[in-house]
Every structure is written in structure tokens, then in C-alpha cells.
A = this chain, B = another copy of it.
Amino acid sequence: MNTLLLSYPDLQDVVRRVGIDRLMDQLIDRLTAALVSYDADRTEIPVRAGFHYETPITGLIEWMPLLQKHSSVLMKVVGYHPESPDTLQLPTILSVLSKYDPNTGHLVAIVDGTFLTAMRTGAASAIASRVLAKPDSRTLGLIGCGAQAVTQLHAIGRSFRLTDVLIFDADESAMDTFPGRVEAFVSPEVNIRPVSLVDLVASSDIISVATSVPIGQGPVFQAGETRPWLHVNAVGSDFPGKIELPGALLQRSYVCPDTLDQAIREGECQQLVTDQIGADIVQVTRRAAYYASKRNQRTVFDSTGWALEDQVALDLLLEYAEEYGIGSSIPIESVSGDPRDTYEFLRQTDDRDRDDVAAPVKLRS
């Protein structure tokens, strides 16, 4: 009845051994397959809920549960604190993923969700872009150059032969450091350069928007000239009142939400009425050939973030951790020889060296 704990160094080990490109490619493939085979009768994903507060700082902590019937429960807890990077040198998004066994309630595994959130959000944008953007897209615009922009570029770069990456961030330092933060995977031939917001919007084939714009202060750019085939991945809108895209752009675009109810409540779809909203990412992925007909018009992927994406990412990581024998196996839950014997350990003789018992078992790594 032990729990697999992947520490952050363990996670780094796994990712290094797999290789970041291979991991992203497999995540995109797995997530595509999961969307195609998604069955709401087998996978229950309640709309997320959470605590939101404005004092002493603006933030929220949400829980995103998922039940894969008969096999696993995912509990994602995710914090969103947009002041963290500047004031605390911490990521805006911090998250931990827990996996439970629905046969017993046992905590099977616990692992960082911060890194996987960034990866799966990138993967989701890549999947939407593969269907809805022009296959010969060469110019990617990134509005917001934080942690999420890294994986947007990575995932979309694995899917299109990009030549130009146009970047914009209200914080100049984020633009300054961006090329260095993506050099691990971006070919030197790709031209990454800061541009004005107007130029970025006008010149991009694909745009990913991932900002920390406060509630009520969006959109982050004005509707203006765009490529007629522009595809936008709208990543940052994930809370009631938070929007990034101008309504005028949404209204002349085919809008694909990741999950409709949540997008209407928290995403760009807050700005639309139901009949202005297109098929969701499950339908679009499942009928990719059909929805590819939208490639010549403006399209938007309204990505609010969905626990299915996290589950696919978690399972992929855990498979590799198991293959490589990375992680620690730790008894956490109070389980005794007799399940009714709550205080059993109090009767045990206590002449052992407790440290031997308490020390987590380090698997080979």
C-alpha cells in the first residue's frame, strides 16, 4: 500500500531520459488518441471548482478531479497567482497531481503538476492547430512570454515548420529572456523577435495567447488586421471575467472550446452566445478531416484547461518512471494488519530504529 512519489529531481530524470521532444511528441499523440476515444460514460470530469480571493493577493486554488471508471481517479490541485513571478520568483501556476485507486481509495502516486500543466497545455494547442491552422503555417505569434509560452512554441514547433516566432509581452524582461528559455528545442534558423502587438496580430499564421491579464481588464489586444486564415490558441482565459481576445475577432472566427460548459463559464466563450460556439476539441479531433475545412478561415481554440489532458500527461510520465524505476515508494496511509485496528501501532513494541522504517524506499534511478 505504498505511494509512488516523484520528486522534482525524479521528474527531471524521467524527462531527460525520455528526451523533451520525444515526450512532447508522445504526449500530443496520446492526447489526440484520448480525445478521439473520449467517452463521457467512462470518464467523469466535473467542471472544476475552487477558491478565489483578492486579498492579501489575487489568486485562486482549484481542484480538477477526473474518474476513469474502474481504473483511476486523478485529483489535480492547481494554484494561479499572477503576482508570484515578480514578487516571489515563483511560477504563476503551481500544481500537484495525485492518482487514486477507485477500488480502494488508495493514493497511488503523487507528482508535480506544474511542468505537466505547461506540457499538456502546449500539446492541446498543437492538436487544435493541427486541425484548424493551415498546415503550411510558418509564423507563430506569442502574446505573453511566460512559462506557458515555452511549451506553446515547443508543441506547435513539433507540428509546423516554423520560420518566424513573433513575441510580445507587456513585461520587456520576459521578451528578453524568451529566446534563451527555448534554445533547448528551437532550431537556430528560427527567427524569434519582439514586435508590436499590431504587427504580431497582423503577420502571424498562428497565435498563442497566454497572459495573466487581470479579470475585467481584457482583451489583451484589439481586433485589427489579421491573416484571413489566422488560428488563435487562447490559453489564458480560465476564470469568470478573465478574457484575452477581442470580441470582434471571436465573432468572425470559428471557435472550438476544449470543454463547452467550462469555456462558457471561464473561457473566451464568455463573450459568445451558444450558437456562436463551434464543435469542441473532442469532436474536432475525432472528425479532423471534416473540420480541416475551417483552415481557410479564422479559428480560435478556447483552451481553458481540462483534466483529461492532465491525466494523459500523468499516465505517460508514470509509465516512464516505472520503466526507468525512478521515484520513491512510501507508505503514507494508516494501514495496519487488521483494517479495523486504528491504534494497532500503539501496541507494537518500539525497540526498532524508527528511521529504518520511516525512510522512503528509493527505487533504482
Contact = CB atoms under 8 A, between A and B. Distances in A.
A183 B346 CA distance: 10
A131 to B, nearest CB: 25
A354 B13 contact: yes
Contact of A341 (B96, B147, B362): B147
A91 B1 CA distance: 11
Contacts of A337: 89
B333 A95 contact: yes
B340 A174 contact: yes
How many copies, total?
2
A353 to B, nearest CB: 10
Interface string A55-70: 1110101010101011
Contacts of A1: 90
> Which among A51, A84, A183 has the greatest number of chain B C-beta atoms within 10 A?
A51
B346 A184 contact: yes
Interface residues of A, number: 103
A80 interface: yes
Contact of A63 (B63, B340, B362): B63
B332 A110 contact: yes
A334 B114 contact: yes
Interface in A336-353: 337-347, 350
A153 to B, nearest CB: 10
A77 interface: yes
Contact of A12 (B53, B70, B150, B345): B345
Interface string A1-25: 1000111111111011000100000
Contact of A102 (B9, B59, B341, B360): B59
A73 interface: yes
Contact of A80 (B98, B105, B107, B182): B105
Contacts of A345: 12, 15-16
Given A65-B51, A355-B362, A104 B77 contact: no
A93 interface: yes
A224 interface: no
Contacts of A365: 354-355, 358
A274 to B, nearest CB: 26
B103 A57 contact: yes
Contacts of A38: none
Interface in A143-180: 145-147, 149-151, 154, 174, 177
Contacts of A341: 147, 150, 177, 181
Given A150-B342, A184-B346, A5 B73 contact: no
A91 B174 CA distance: 50
A335 B51 contact: no
26 contacts: A5-B330, A8-B331, A12-B345, A12-B354, A16-B350, A61-B67, A63-B63, A63-B65, A79-B102, A79-B106, A81-B104, A85-B339, A89-B338, A89-B339, A90-B104, A90-B335, A110-B110, A111-B332, A114-B333, A114-B334, A147-B340, A150-B340, A150-B341, A151-B342, A181-B342, A182-B343
Given A12-B354, A89-B339, A118-B342, 13 more contacts: A5-B330, A53-B67, A59-B104, A77-B105, A89-B338, A94-B105, A96-B333, A114-B334, A115-B334, A184-B343, A184-B346, A355-B362, A360-B360
